[in-house]
Amino acid sequence: MNVLLTGGAGYIGSHTAVELLNRGCDIVIADDYSNSSPVAVERIRQITGRDFPAYHVDVTDCEAVRRIFRENKIDCVIHFAGKKAVGESVEIPLSYYRTNLDAALTVLECMKEAGVSRFIFSSSATVYGSLNPIPYREDMPRGECSSPYGTTKAMIEKILEDACHADSTLSAVLLRYFNPIGAHPSGLIGEDPQGIPNNLLPYIAQVAVGRRERLMVFGDDYPTPDGTCVRDYIHVRDLAQAHLLALEYLDRGGESGPFNLGSGDGFSVKEIVETARKVTGKPIPATMKPRRPGDPPTLIASNHKAREVLGWVPQRGLEEIIADAWAWHQSHPNGYDG
């Protein structure tokens, strides 16, 4: 099985690449390194001891994507490529719609030309909007997303549903990620956000390594047990393994559709900070701040469908996840730059 990973040098793409190579799949990576590093590609080779083609391309470039399909016999595409900063998407929505929709459409059109019919899409829990009851299940409708980033995910899901409806040979699995955190236990690959991190774990890690002074906790007056937001954090390796299971599922003729990838458990911001203090042995100063606009109080997955249909069993608990993240951040306080 030869799998094209668009955005394969990114955080989730690189961890998925490792799992696929370790399980004997061949891969091809296409990445423009706009929010990732070619060093990640070298690290994937180092961890797995395996080589593979890596193309430095923007997947909105149709000719460049065509060339990849011409030069490699691809069986399936896992589409990670896209812009993903929620706050930035509110400021420059047109750029998000242009890039994320164009990338997905270009890859799908080139796949069709090349006769490739299996597609796995990096979607997000944000497509549930804010009106569905918790925990989110795949049979609930998509809702109004709180950001243009989220809307691009929901729009691409709809495009895929329509494309699969129109072409019975196309099958697409939509993987709805909850809050992926952690890193490969080697400490060689991990999350490397550009600039000030938006997400909780990278921010905490940068405080722990001394790159930032203190964490700002956005809101402690939510209707949750300790007043801070509750999220469903999942180890990026567990998430990566779900992609492998999704490939196997498509290979045995599985139906197109969405799958939630979350642990099914929720932890509050305060609980995450406490666990990070314990694991790192660092004080991690934190200051309470007002709520961040658009943050729902609680986000938790029902993962029954992924467990039953894909056979997915998330295996790693919170302390292990944070310890793995810490190994990466401690050895790479400035990410792939050093």
- Residues forming contacts to ligand UDP in the complex (CB under 6 A) are 179, 198-200, 203, 215-218, 229, 231, 269, 292, 295, 299
**How do strand 267-268 and strand 230-231 relate by DSSP bridges?**
antiparallel
- Of 33, 55, 128, 149, the catalytic one is 149
How many of the other CB atoms lie within 10 Å of CB of 275?
Answer: 19
Q: How far is the CB of 35 from ligand UDP (least distance, A)?
A: 16
Q: How far is the CB of 127 from ligand UDP (least distance, A)?
A: 12
Is residue 149 part of the annotated active site? The answer reads yes
> Which residue, 14, 23, 6, 34, is CA-closest to 236?
14
Judge whether 122 and 150 are in contact, CB under 8 Å.
no
Q: How far is the CB of 184 from ligand UDP (least distance, A)?
A: 19
Sheet with strand 26-31: strands edge to edge:
54-56, 26-31, 2-6, 76-79, 118-124, 171-177, 257-261
Residue among 135 and 163 whose Cβ is closer to ligand UDP: 135
Q: How far is the CB of 179 from ligand UDP (least distance, A)?
A: 5
> Across-strand partners of 259?
175
Q: How far apart are CA 56 and CA 8, in angstroms?
A: 11
Question: What is the four-CA torsion angle of 174, 67, 24, 183, rounded to 10 degrees?
Answer: -60
Q: How far apart are CA 285 and CA 215, in angstroms?
A: 6
Residue among 9 and 201 whose Cβ is closer to ligand UDP: 201
Residue with the shortest CB distance to ligand UDP: 229
Residue among 127 and 269 whose Cβ is closer to ligand UDP: 269
Judge whether 289 and 217 are in contact, CB under 8 Å.
yes
Residue among 71 and 226 whose Cβ is closer to ligand UDP: 226
Tokens coding 83: 């812009």
Helix (H, G, I), strand (E, B) or coil at 326: helix
How many of the other CB atoms lie within 10 Å of CB of 231?
Answer: 24
Q: How far is the CB of 230 from ligand UDP (least distance, A)?
A: 8
As annotated, the active-site residues are: 149
